[in-house]
Amino acid sequence: MSVKDKIINASLHLFLKNGIREMTIQKLVKELDISTKTIYKYFADKEDLLEQCLLVHYKLLSENLSALQDSPINPVATLCKMWEGALELDFGVNHIFYHDLNYYYPKMQDMILNKTVRKNPAILLNLVEDAIRKGYFRKDTNPQIALAVMETLYVTICRTDTFKHIKVKPELILQNTMEPYLRGLCTAKGLNVFERK
């Protein structure tokens, strides 16, 4: 791994843990035990470093979702695995990180989302439609509404303090939030997917 990649990976971890505004180049240098000169050799400034970190973060999320889309398992099991993977990647990230990103760097975030994960809603929507078409979800399910509810649950789980005081593993939170919602959309055929888990 190159020095630049090591800086990006370590910095991404620190941004996610502490928030963006909290982290300065000086704090990064101290945490990474490298010189300021080394940071500036690879990055013009903190925003340039942040942009590179976000590209890595969102690219990983996008790759995980895309890989699961091509999975041969049924659409309900694929949706469950996608949410599990996304939760694993995002849970425990300080909600201040997303607050800072949305408040101070919305244009940067939009630009990176357009490069990396904007296709994911189409992937998820296709899975919901496929689940309806194949009889796993009820025919009266509205795919756009179902997807909006899933995204809202995800944001609530990962990007707010709602569950911070409950000291349990992310999987348990998923089992008590997303999973009951997905079960509510299921036909008897779809419910069998959960019985086999």
Does the pLDDT at position 46 exceed 70?
yes
The residue among 19 and 84 whose pLDDT is bigger is 19
Which phi and psi (to 5°) does residue 165 adopt? -80, -15
Q: What is the pLDDT of residues 51-69, one digit of tens each?
A: 999 999 888 877 777 776 6
Q: What is the pLDDT of residue 72?
A: 63
Query: Could you tell me if residue 2 is inside a domain?
Result: no
**34 vs 62, residue with greater confidence:** 34
Kindly tell me if the per-residue pLDDT of 146 is higher than 90: yes
Q: What is the pLDDT of residue 99?
A: 80
Whether residue 107 is contained in a domain is answered as yes
Written as one string, the DSSP assignment of 19-57 is -TTT--HHHHHHHHT--HHHHHHH-SSHHHHHHHHHHHH
User: d(Cα 74, Cα 155) in Å, to the nearest integer?
Assistant: 25
Among the ranges given (70-79, 101-110, 136-145, 170-179), the one the predictor scored with the smallest mean pLDDT? 70-79
Indicate the pLDDT class of residue 92, thresholds 50, 70 and 90: low
Those residues with Cβ within 8 angstroms of residue 184's Cβ, 6 or more apart along the chain or in another chain = none
Kindly tell me if the per-residue pLDDT of 120 is higher than 90. no
Instruction: Output the domain CATH number for residue 67.
Output: 1.10.357
Range of the domain at 145: 56-195
User: Is residue 132 scored above 90 in pLDDT?
Assistant: yes
pLDDT of residue 172: 85
Average pLDDT over residues 127-155: 93
**pTM listed for this prediction:** 0.72
Compute how many other C-beta atoms are within 10 angstroms of the C-beta atom of residue 48.
13
Nearest partner of 15 among 120, 105, 86, 84, judged by Cα: 105
Is a pLDDT exceeding 80 seen at residue 167?
no
- Is residue 124 situated within a structural domain? yes
pLDDT band at 137 (very low <50, low <70, confident <90, very high): very high
Structural domain contains residue 33? no
* pLDDT confidence of residue 118: 62
In a domain, 21, yes or no: no
Mean pLDDT of the chain: 86
Q: Is residue 126 part of a domain?
A: yes
In a domain, 18, yes or no: no
CB 128 within 8 A of CB 137: yes
Instruction: Give the number of domains in the chain.
Output: 1
Q: 121: pLDDT confidence band, cut at 50, 70 and 90?
A: low
Decide if 36 is inside a domain.
Answer: no
